Amino acid sequence: MAMSGGNAIRGTRVGAGPMGESERGETAPRVRVAYFCATGHETRPSFAADAEIPETWDCPRCGLPAGRDHTSPPAAPRNEPYKTHLAYVKERRSDADGAAILDEALSRLRASREL
């Protein structure tokens, strides 16, 4: 006769009994709000009935901002392309400024070599 060894309450853990309102107390009244993103996804998070409902919510599927109006969801944020250090310098200085700075640096370098 084969007997299964081990614990008789396998698959349970301490305190894993049924938890309900008697142990946790009354749940707050909830309201579900629909949000729509630009790609057509719909998400319905729930909020406490007395909480302030945000105008936008991040879509959990694509990460775009979602709004409550399904006919005109918020536009996707515009991402600026990566700029190199040279691109930032060119925004601050004209070509003439760059040529003047280069001439000044070259003349200092030549002067230091003549010493």
Beta strands, E only, the chain: 30-32, 35-37, 42-43, 46-48, 56-58, 65-67
62 appears as a binding residue in the annotation: yes
User: Does residue 54 have a known ligand-binding role?
Assistant: no
Nearest-angstrom CA–CA distance, 90 and 56: 37
- 89 annotated to a ligand binding site: no
Alpha carbon distance 58, 15 (integer Å): 35
Question: Binding site annotation covers 70?
Answer: no
Binding residues for Zn(2+): 37, 41, 59, 62
Binding residues: 37, 41, 59, 62
